[in-house]
Structure 1
Amino acid sequence: MNKFKKHWWSLLSVLLIVLSSFPLQTIAENLSSSEECRVNNMQLTTLEGKALPQENDPKASIVAQFDLVVPENKKTTFGLPAEITANNQELYHQNETIVSIEENQLKIVNDSDQPASLEGVNFEFKLAEPARSLAEVTLNFFNEFEFKLNNKQTTAAKDAASKKSSTESGKQSKGSNGEITPFAATDKTSAIDDMKLNDIYIKNGSNPPAYIVKNGVKQNPQPTVKVGDGVYFDYTFSVPSAANLKEGDYIYIALPEEYFTFSSVSNSVPFYENSGEKIGDMTLENDFRKEIFENHF
């Protein structure tokens, strides 16, 4: 009997050693991984729930949809891609679980003692202004899901140009007396590179600027525009020498219609290069800003 007890304790000791060396480590790893929020089954669709077209309208709204697994007593935040803008909103709120978007971030709060499993969480977003001018945009959500969008046009300038009838470029014509006339003023919008809207801000008197958009990012909260306020648009772009700008040539710049409604005006204002030199005038035509150059760059 004593021999049996002795062997039994020996076997039990070996069993405990085996259990402590492998299974407990595996359990610990599983518990550690379960403490993180998981995003599953993410997809992008149109507002109608259809697959995105091969060529995306840069101004179109897109829907992001996904499932969420949230551990108990968990609070976390995921940054959304800088290439998109999404309005602040509450996506899900039930009992002690809240999923919302604040300042282009996905915020998740589960104050319950039970984990939460959410299906079909979705929100609407648009491409940010700088991303709309790109031929291809890569959106990386949560460092796990990557989507590539092909925009219909490569720059906002080309979008503006497609809506305007341009004069013939690089051609000479004969006048009534048979003589060769000078080159006509030409729409050079398509020749402009790197068109980008940096800032939109309000300025009233000596008060500091109140930014609507700063460095390409929509500000929150949005300032209020009052009668008498000056609204300023800060664009940057470059003009290659191949554009061959001549006096009277012009370009069109699409103004951000998602922020303002514009009306055509007959007056014009001076247009300055960043060096401070006046190089033309600006007018507003059919919701587009037209810049007419007085001389060569």
Structure 2
Amino acid sequence: MGTVSVKDVARLAGVSVGTVSNVLNSPEKVTAATLQRVQDAIDKLGFVRNDAARQLRLGSSTAIGLLILDVRNPFFTELARGAEDYAARFGFSVVLGNSDEDSARESGYLDLFEQQRVRGVLISPIGDVSARLHKLRQRGTRAVLVDRVSADSAFSSVSVDDVAGGSIAANHLLESGRRRIAFLGGPASFRQVSDRLAGARSAVAAHPGAALEVIEASASTVQAGSEVARRILARAEADRPDAIFASNDLLAIGALQVLAASGEVRVPDDIAFVGYDDIDFASASIVPLTSVRQPAALMGETAVQLLFSEVEDLGAKPQAVQFQPELVIRASSAREGSTG
């Protein structure tokens, strides 16, 4: 038997399709006898109401689109969990899209979200998507930037002060006596990466005799961090950095594991490490990783709150919420006997 339709219910109950619609949506408009007859027909046929189609027709979907850069990164997983938990409290669901740092894929997900008439979009963009988000808003879909500040202040955003985070990380390494710091980062075109680098550069510039080397990784993954570590091992010992600040924890963990397991480098005595995000794996690394913590779950929750505010009041001005990062010191950056 195929899918049971409203017409099938109406035919069995001996009423019009409009009456069945009233039973489903406005039962107070239907007499008790008719209501019972239609309900009996629904039960007998096993009719299941298609709420998704109804919401799309009414323009009142309870779905929110969340588009992230890399679903493999636990930071984004935690952010998504925060958004999902908060949205669920109000009967909303979160539909997750993974751009995988691919612009064409990002565009495809934005098309899909618009076609599905989601209530709004939360996006951690690859580059500047302002023009695309303006078009979405003109067609009725609101958007909030996540882990990024709106360049033209036209959109609400939730972010962390990454310049401050980069400065905190570099200053910690400098204060522990490190002077040859390497910044290990993914594509410099990502605002998060460039901001963290800017903060580190500022801190190093304020310390005479300190130098900052920039090493660009092929991606923001454990594997990419491991590849960089092997290149560092190939250098003469005197040419290696004495500290590595990675733009995220996955890169830091990949590099740290290769260097620590090599037998040639002692962590942190020879090379200290600081990562970024403070994912769960940071504390369980081969050498527990010092990291700059971002409140990922709170960021996801706040993004949904901002989206709800805009949906409820279409004239509301965009809000920019920025959290401050926090350094969590572990063994990867504290020499033996150091108090950190």
TM-score normalized by the length of structure 2: 0.25
Task: Give 1 or 2: higher helix fraction.
Answer: 2
Larger Rg: 1
Q: Which has the higher contact order (CA 8 A, sep 6+)?
A: 2
